[in-house]
Each structure stands twice: as structure tokens, then as C-alpha cells.
């Protein structure tokens, strides 16, 4: 589908914070066919890093709490005249070849997908692929047809648009070469854990000049949620080359889908595709080794560093990060799903607490119940996970801490789908140090599923002691972080390697973009936060950005 449209799109910066003006469905790809994953309500906001036009709509895109890419439809565009490529009748494609290998299917029914299949707006091989259906997906179709050589099934999409799925490439009785058919070969080279190269050889435009070589690529873990269109760079030997960095595809290892298109006479024409294990999978290692940066303890997980706070690992009194925006967004989605499912859950909650606020709470509990009892259900100041900004206590509709049996079971079964774990579960007091709390959920990100599936507490999962206050137990000491970086307060900085750009000076804040080695930035602040040294500057759109340099 052409993405050209009349200029009725919203005029917003290329990245920043977007406040929704209406209830907005969130999808895993920028197409309306896909059933929405969840919704944002009017007044909710999200930090986005991309804007695009697809499927006659304007979309913003962002990386979610689960490290997956999501898309929000923010405006309906007025389409210009369609520029979908057409297949012209020529001597070589007039005749309908005898077909072989077609699947025998009823005229309507349910089709079980056994491999990656392309979905298009027209039953034409040259039509642009909108997205793919992956293995084990089931689609209810109402038509079976043969057109343009492939066999297709067809269905009415979620948005009411008819779609076509290419399920079989049929063989013609004659296989004579066709001089006016486009062709090319795809080869994957130089595979590392950080990326790979795609080389396009034997480029032939069917007698027409190849104006551009375009290569759409995505990993096969979650459909086309990280689809990126690359431009091929022409080499001296006539081939074209594309370099793929896995950081542009969520760092995914394993199988990638790689398609090839040529631009001929200003139109994009499909050529071929391949699906291969482009990135060798590496065994993620969980380390039980704790480190301390002067503000908090952390341990290296499979995907990221995990902050550890328990009775043996405290926080600096001065550590005051506030509510983590990524965790908050994930929590709101979880809570709203529970409410929409009719569970006894209220909108109020207890989130971030400062050291001083926790001290007041704890002292009150000790005065009421005594220290021994208070230590089973309340953390001493400097030892509360709430001080990290990653923890939320849910309430019921009456405003009391959530103890409803149905809601508690839902949390046990589903929190990991939102990046959370139920931190203090029944039978785990020896390792966590606290009595069961069904309402207390902790954000850990992508590793939540691994922890949930293990059946272990956070301490057991990482092999860490944390069940009781050590005799010398005290919060982590606040101390200067030595970085070896000596910079003026204002100036120009040239990067010596890749550096992430973030909306907040937090290690856990999602990457919006990045600077590469050799690039420069004019900054107006240097600060040390979250155990790191950051440069800060204002963007053209007036948003403040932070770059971690040490």
C-alpha cells in the first residue's frame, strides 16, 4: 500500500512524549488488520521514538515494557491515488500455465500456517507484503483462488479489508527463461552476534533500469514488529550490500526474514526472499555476582542488570530516582486489564517511596506492633524496594491492599506478561524475609517470564542471600562515582563509541536513538546519576535528552 497521503497528519516531533486525545488501540505492527494488544485512554501518554505512515494512517512507535515494539494509530490520512504496482500483460505472462502442487482445500475453513506466509492487498506476487503470518497461526478464510501463479486463500481482516495469503508457489509446465522477469540472489555473510551483511548479486530488472535496491528485514520472533526497510549500497562489482545491526531488531538472535525489492519506473517490485538463521544464538548467562555502584546493588540477568533490594542489600539514603516511567506504564496496563476483566481492583496504588517516607512508615509500625513483627511485613528505611520506583502495591475497590483471592491468582498467573513478578509469595519467607504479599509486584522487565517459570523467589533465582538483616546490615553508602571523565560544564563532545540517547538519566530508561563513534553533540550539562556520567542537551523540539558516556 502506498504511504503517500494528503497532509492531514499530526505535526509532532520525530520523537518525544505523546498524550492521547482519544481511546487508542495499540498494535504489534502498523496495520489495522491485527487485533489490538491493549488500549490507551484519553490523557494517557507514551514516550515514542518513531513516526511513520502505513495502511492509510499515521502511527507513533515505541519500545514497550517487555522490550517489544508497539504502534499506536494517532491519525487517519486521506489517501492519494493508489500506486500499487500492476502486472502488465506481455507475451510471457499472457498464457495461464498448468499448475501443479496446489493444496487441496475446502472453499472455506480454517487454515493452519506451517511456515511464514505473506499477506497482501491483492492476489499478485508483485504486490507489497503488508505483514506475515507465522508458524502455528490459524486463519479463517472464505475463498481459495489461483492467480498470478501462486495459490491464495483470502479472508476479511479485523478492519474489514479483504486480504490475500500466498500459500503455495505453483509450477508451470514449461520452465523456459523469461528475459523480462526481474531476478536477483540474496546471500547472508559476516554473521556475528552484533549483526550481519546481506549481499544482492545477479541484479536484473527485466530490461529496465534498477533505480534502487530495497531490502526489508525482520527477526521472526514476533511477526514483523521490528521490520526495517534498508537501502542497498552499490558495490564496485555491481552487487549491492546492506549491513544489519541487531540493535535495530531488539538484539534478536536466530532466524530472520529477508526480502528483496527493486524500484523500477518509480514503483517497488518484489523479487525474491530468504529466511535463514542470520544471527547465531548465544546462551544467555545469569550471574549471581552482586555489584554496588554507590546507590544500589545489582546483578547481571539474562537481558539486563537487575536491581536487588532485600534485608541484606540496601539502597543509599540519597538514592531518589522517583517512579520509573517504563514500570509505571506497564503497571497501568496491567491494572486496567484487571479492572476491565471485572476483578476487585481499584485505581489507587502505592508506588515510589523516599528513604524518609519509608522511615516514617516503619517507625509507626514498630511503635504499633514491635520491631520483630514489623520486620516481617515492612522494610527498614534504605531496604525498601519501593525506593527504587520499580514496585507497586495494588488495592481493591475499597482502597485496601489487594487480598482478593481471584485477583491474587490472576496476578500469580499473569504479572510476568507485563514484566512484573509477585515479589513475596507464600512459602518463600526464608529467602525473601517477608510474609506473603499478594499485592506487592516488582518490575524486572523481560526476565520476569524466566523468573515466573522457575517457581523461585528473586533471591533463589539469582542464588542470593536476603532473608534476614545481617548484623552489619546497612544501606549502600552514597559515594562519589569515579568515571575518569573530566569535561567542562558546557561544550562539544565527540563520541568514541556507540552511546544511547534517553529521555531520562536512568540506566533503565528505554533507548530513543543513539550516537555512533565519531559523531558529536553540543551539551549544556554534565551530571552523575544512577551510577553513571551523563551529558545532557535540548533537542530542536525542546525536549531534554541524556547520553550515558561513562
How confident is the model over 22-57, as pLDDT tens digits? 888 888 877 777 777 778 888 888 888 889 887 678
| Residue range of the domain that includes 115 | 109-169
3-state secondary structure 305-356: EEEECECCECCCCCCCCCCCHHHHHHHHHHHHHHHHCCCCCCCCEECCCCHH
Q: What is the mean pLDDT of residues 322-351?
A: 92
Average pLDDT over residues 175-201: 74
Q: What is the predicted pLDDT for the residue at 287?
A: 52
> Which pTM was predicted?
0.41
Phi, psi for residue 219 in degrees, rounded to 5: -80, 160
- Look at residue 472 in the predicted model and tell me its pLDDT: 40
In a domain, 84, yes or no: no
**CATH code for the domain in which residue 321 is found:** 3.30.1380.10
- Strand spans (E) along 205-253: 212-219, 228-231, 233-234, 240-245
> Does any domain span residue 200?
yes
Q: Say if 444 falls within a structural domain.
A: yes
Pairing of strands 305-308, 349-350: unpaired
Residue 351 is predicted with a pLDDT of: 92
71's enclosing H/E stretch is: strand 69-76
Give the pLDDT band (50/70/90) at residue 82.
very low
**Residues 407 and 430 both lie in one domain:** yes
Residue 260 lies in a domain: yes
Q: Coil, strand or helix: which one is 245?
A: strand
Q: Chain-centre distance of CA 226, in angstroms?
A: 8
- Name the domain boundary from 31, 57, 76: 76
Phi/psi of residue 534, nearest 5 degrees: -125, 145
Q: Say if residue 71 is in the same domain as residue 193.
A: no
Residue, of 524 and 171, whose pLDDT is higher: 524
Instruction: Determine, yes or no, domain membership for 86.
Output: no
| Domain assignment present for 92 | no
CA distance 409 to 403: 10
HSE-CB of 132 using CA atoms within 13 angstroms: 26
Enter the DSSP assignment of 386: G
In a domain, residue 175? The reply is no
Q: Which residue has the higher pLDDT, 275 or 120?
A: 120
DSSP labels, 488-527: -SSEEEE-SS-EEEESSS-TTSPP-EEEPTT-EEEESEEE
Closest C-alpha to 424, from 442, 400, 405? 442
In this structure, are 162 and 234 located in the same domain?
Answer: no
Under the banding of pLDDT at 50, 70 and 90, the label for residue 194 is low
Greater confidence, 550 or 358? 358
Same domain flag for 246 and 331: no
* 172 vs 423, higher pLDDT: 423
Do 154 and 226 lie in one domain? The reply is no
How high does pLDDT run on average in the chain? 79
Q: Beta partners for 145?
A: 152
Average pLDDT, integer, range 168-195: 68
* Cα–Cα distance, 396 to 403 (Å, whole number): 8
Query: 467-470 long-range contacts, Cβ below 8 Å, gap at least 24?
Result: 467/310, 467/311, 467/312, 467/429, 467/430, 467/431, 467/432, 467/433, 468/311, 468/312, 468/433, 469/311, 469/312, 469/375, 469/380, 469/383, 469/433, 470/311, 470/312
The last residue of one of the domains, among 279, 314, 330, is: 279
Q: Which of 89-93, 175-179, 279-283, 309-313 has the highest mean pLDDT?
A: 309-313
Does residue 464 or residue 277 have the better pLDDT?
464
Distance of alpha carbon 407 from alpha carbon 395, whole angstroms:
10
Of 50-54, 136-140, 202-206, 289-293, which has the strongest mean pLDDT? 202-206
Condensed to tens digits (0 to 9), the pLDDT of residues 380-411 reads 999 999 999 999 999 998 888 898 999 999 99
Domain CATH for 122: 2.30.30.40
Do 302 and 391 share a domain, yes or no? yes
Residues 370 and 516 in one domain: no
pLDDT score at 91: 32
Number of domains in the chain: 5
122 and 268 in a single domain? The answer is: no
Cα gap 164→166, rounded to integer Å: 7
Residues 297 and 355 in one domain: yes
Would you say residue 63 has pLDDT above 90?
no
Residues 257 and 297 in one domain: no
Residues 6+ apart with CB under 8 A from 291: 297, 298, 299
Q: Does 535 lie in the same domain as 411?
A: no
pLDDT at position 276? 65
Task: Give the rounded percent of residues in the chain with a pLDDT score beyond 70.
Answer: 82
| pLDDT at site 505 | 84
Q: Dihedral sign, CA of 457, 463, 469, 474?
A: negative
Residues 337 and 429 placed together within one structural domain of the fold: yes
Instruction: Tell me if 469 is assigned to some domain.
Output: no
Domain containing residue 234: CATH number: 2.60.40.3760
CA angle 389, 390, 392 (to 5 degrees): 95
**Per-residue pLDDT at 212:** 93
Give the whole-angstrom CA distance, residue 183 versus residue 204: 5
Q: Where is pLDDT greater, at 225 or 83?
A: 225
pLDDT tens digits for range 246-300: 777 776 777 888 999 999 988 888 888 887 655 554 434 455 578 887 788 888 8
Last residue of a domain, one of 279, 306, 331: 279
Residue 307 confidence (pLDDT): 92
Amino acid at each position: 500500500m502506498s504511504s503517500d497521503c494528503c497532509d492531514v497528519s499530526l505535526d509532532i516531533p520525530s520523537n518525544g512524549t505523546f498524550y492521547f486525545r482519544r481511546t487508542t488501540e495499540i498494535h504489534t505492527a502498523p496495520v489495522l488488520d491485527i487485533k489490538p494488544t491493549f488500549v490507551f485512554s484519553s490523557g494517557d501518554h507514551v514516550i515514542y521514538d518513531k513516526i511513520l505512515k502505513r495502511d492509510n494512517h499515521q502511527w507513533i512507535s515505541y519500545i514497550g515494557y517487555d522490550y517489544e515494539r508497539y504502534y499506536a494509530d494517532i491519525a487517519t490520512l486521506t489517501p492519494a491515488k493508489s500506486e500499487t504496482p500492476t502486472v502488465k500483460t506481455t507475451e510471457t505472462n499472457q498464457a495461464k500455465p498448468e499448475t501443479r502442487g496446489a493444496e487441496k482445500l475446502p472453499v472455506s475453513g480454517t487454515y493452519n500456517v506451517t511456515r511464514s506466509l505473506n499477506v497482501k492487498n491483492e492476489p499478485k506476487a508483485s504486490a507489497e507484503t503488508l505483514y506475515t503470518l507465522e508458524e502455528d497461526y490459524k486463519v479463517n478464510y472464505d475463498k481459495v483462488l489461483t492467480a498470478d501463479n501462486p495459490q491464495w486463500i483470502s479472508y476479511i481482516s479485523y478492519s474489514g479489508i479483504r486480504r490475500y495469503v500466498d500459500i503455495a508457489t505453483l509450477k508451470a509446465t514449461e520452465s523456459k527463461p523469461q528475459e523480462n522477469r526481474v531476478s536477483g540472489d540474496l546471500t547472508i555473510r559476516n554473521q556475528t552476534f552484533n549483526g550481519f551483511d546481506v549481499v544482492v548479486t545477479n541484479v536484473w530488472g527485466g530490461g529496465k533500469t534498477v533505480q534502487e535496491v530495497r531490502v526489508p528485514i525482520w527477526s521472526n520472533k514476533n511477526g514483523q514488529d521490528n521490520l526495517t526497510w534498508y537501502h542497498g549500497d552499490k558495490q564496485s562489482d555491481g552487487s549491492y550490500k546492506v549491513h544489519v545491526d541487531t540493535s535495530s531488531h531488539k538484539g534478536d538472535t536466530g532466524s530472520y526474514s529477508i526480502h528483496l525489492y527493486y524500484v523500477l519506473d518509480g514503483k517497488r517490485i518484489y523479487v525474491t526472499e530468504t529466511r535463514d538463521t542470520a544471527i547465531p544464538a548465544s546462551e544467555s548467562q545469569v550471574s549471581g555476582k552482586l555489584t554496588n555502584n554507590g546507590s544500589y546493588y545489582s546483578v547481571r540477568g539474562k537481558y539486563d542488570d537487575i536491581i536487588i533490594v532485600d534485608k541484606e542489600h540496601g539502597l543509599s539514603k540519597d538514592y531518589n530516582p522517583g517512579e520509573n516511567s517504563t514500570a509505571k506504564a506497564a503497571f497501568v496496563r496491567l491494572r486496567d486489564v484487571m479492572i476491565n476483566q471485572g476483578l476487585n481492583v481499584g485505581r489507587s496504588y502505592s508506588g515510589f517511596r523516599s528513604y524518609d517516607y519509608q522511615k516514617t512508615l516503619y517507625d509507626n509500625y514498630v511503635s504499633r506492633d514491635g520491631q520483630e513483627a514489623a520486620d516481617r511485613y515492612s522494610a527498614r528505611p534504605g531496604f525498601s524496594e519501593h525506593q527504587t520506583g520499580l514496585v507497586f502495591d495494588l488495592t481493591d475497590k475499597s482502597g485496601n491492599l489487594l487480598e482478593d483471592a481471584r485477583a491474587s491468582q490472576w496476578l500469580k498467573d499473569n504479572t510476568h506478561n507485563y514484566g512484573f513478578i509477585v515479589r513475596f509469595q507464600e512459602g518463600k519467607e526464608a529467602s525473601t524475609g517477608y510474609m506473603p504479599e499478594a499485592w506487592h509486584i516488582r518490575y524486572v522487565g523481560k526476565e520476569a517470564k524466566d523468573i515466573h517459570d522457575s517457581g523461585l523467589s528473586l533471591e533463589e533465582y539469582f542464588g542470593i542471600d536476603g532473608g534476614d538483616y545481617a548484623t552489619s546490615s546497612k544501606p549502600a553508602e552514597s559515594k562519589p562515582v569515579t568515571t575518569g571523565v573530566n569535561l567542562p560544564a558546557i561544550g562539544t563532545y565527540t563520541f568514541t563509541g556507540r552511546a544511547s540517547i534517553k529521555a531520562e538519566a536512568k540506566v533503565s530508561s528505554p533507548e530513543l536513538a543513539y550516537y555512533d563513534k565519531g559523531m558529536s553533540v553540543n551539551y549544556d550539562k554534565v551530571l552523575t546519576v544512577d551510577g553513571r556520567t551523563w551529558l545532557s542537551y535540548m533537542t530542536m523540539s525542546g525536549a531534554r535528552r541524556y547520553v550515558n558516556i561513562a
